[in-house]
Structure 1
Amino acid sequence: MFWGEGQLIHNGKYKIERQLGGGGFAVTYQAIHTQLNRRVVIKTPNLSVQNDPDYLKYLKRFKKEAQMLGECCADSHPHIVQVFDFFEEDGRSCLVMQYIPGESLWQFVQSRGALPETQAVKYIRQIGVALVEVHKKSIFHLDVTPPNIMLSFEPAVPNSCKAVLIDFGIAGDMSPPSTLSRTFGNKAFAPYELVRKGIRHPTVDVYCLAASLYYAVTGQRPTNSFDRFDDEELVPPKKLVPSLSKGVNQVILQGMALEAKDRPQTMQEWVKLLLESTPQPTPSRKQGPDYSNLENLLIDKKWREADEETARVMLKVVGREKQGWLDVKDIDNFPCTDLRTIDQLWVTYSDRHFGFSVQKRIWQECGAKVDYETECKLGDRVGWRKNGFWVNYDERDFSLNAPRGLLPSCWMVFSVGRWGGLWFSSLTSKLVKCNI
Structure 2
Amino acid sequence: MRHLNPGETLQNGRYTINSILGAGGFGITYLATENPSANQLAIKTLNATVQGKPNFIDLQNQFIKEAFLLAKCSHLHVVTVHNVFHEDELWYMVMEYIKGSDLSVYLQQKGILKETDGLTIIQKIGEALIYVHSQGFLHRDIKPHNILLPPNTLEAKLIDFGIAREFTAGETRTHTNYRTDGYAPPEQYEEKAKRDTYTDVYALAATLYNILTDQVPIPAQFRAYAALPPPNQFNNQISDRVNNAILKGMELKPANRPQTIQQFLDLLLPKDDLSSDRNVDYSKLRDLLKAGNWEEADEETAKVMCQAAKCSKQGWLGEEDIDNFPCTDLRTINQLWLDYSGGKFGFSVQKEIYQRLGGTREYNTEVWQAFGDEVGWRKGGRLLSYEYITFNTSAPLGHLPNKIWNGSRREGDVCELAIWIGIVFSRVGTCKL
TM range (shorter): 0.5 to 0.7
Identity rate, percent = 38
The 2-side partners of 1:277 and 1:192 are apart by 31
In 2: Cα distance, 1:63 partner to 1:265 partner: 29
| Paired residue secondary structure (2:163) | coil
Q: Which runs of 5+ in 1 are unaligned?
A: 154-158, 279-436
Within the alignment, does 1:5 sit opposite 2:3 as a pair?
no
The answer to whether the Cα contact below 8 Å between 1:170 and 1:182 also exists between their aligned partners in 2 is no
Q: 1:50-199 to 2 correspondence within 5 Å?
A: 50-73=51-74, 77-153=75-151, 160-175=153-168, 176=171, 178-184=173-179, 186-197=180-191, 199=193
Give the conservation status (yes or no) of the 8 Å contact 1:248–1:277. Answer: no
Displacement after TM superposition at 1:216 (Å): 0.7
Identify the match of residue 215 of structure 2 among 214, 217, 220: 220
| CA distance in structure 1 between the aligned counterparts of 2:147 and 2:200, rounded to whole angstroms | 13
Choose from 234, 237, 248 the match for 2:231: 237
Check the 8 A contact 1:187/1:195 in 2, yes or no. no
* Corresponding position of 2:346: none
SS of the aligned residue for 2:251 comes to: coil
Cα pair distance change 1:96/1:268, threshold 3 Å: same
C-alpha distance in 2, partners of 1:212/1:181? 21
Give, in whole Å, the separation in 2 of the partners of 1:195 and 1:38. 41
Cα separation, partners in 2 of 1:192 and 1:45, compared to 1, 3 Å: same
Deviations 1:97-117 (A, max 9, x none): 111111111111122211111
8 Å contact 2:163–2:178 — kept in the other structure? Answer: no
1:270 is the counterpart of 2:274:
no
How many Å separate the matches in 1 of 2:51 and 2:70?
24
Q: If you compute each CA radius of gyration, which structure gives the higher value, 1 or 2?
A: 2
Structure 1 residue 180: deviation in Å? 2.9
Letter in 1 for 2:154: C
Question: How many Å apart are 1:182 and its aligned residue?
Answer: 3.3
Change (3 A) 1:129 1:187: same
Q: CA deviation at 1:277?
A: 8.4
Q: How does 1:219-368 map to 2 (within 5 A)?
A: 219-229=214-224, 231-276=225-270
Stretch moving more, 45-54 or 251-260? 45-54
Calculate the TM-score normalised by the size of structure 2: 0.60
For normalisation by structure 1, the TM-score amounts to: 0.59
Structure 2 CA distance for aligned equivalents of residues 272 and 36 of structure 1:
43
Q: Which moved more, 1:189-198 or 1:85-94?
A: 189-198
3-state DSSP of counterpart to 2:258? coil
- The gaps in structure 2 that reach 5 residues or longer are 273-433
Separation in 2, partners of 1:234, 1:146: 19
Measure, in 2, the Cα distance between the counterparts of 1:160 and 1:191.
Answer: 30
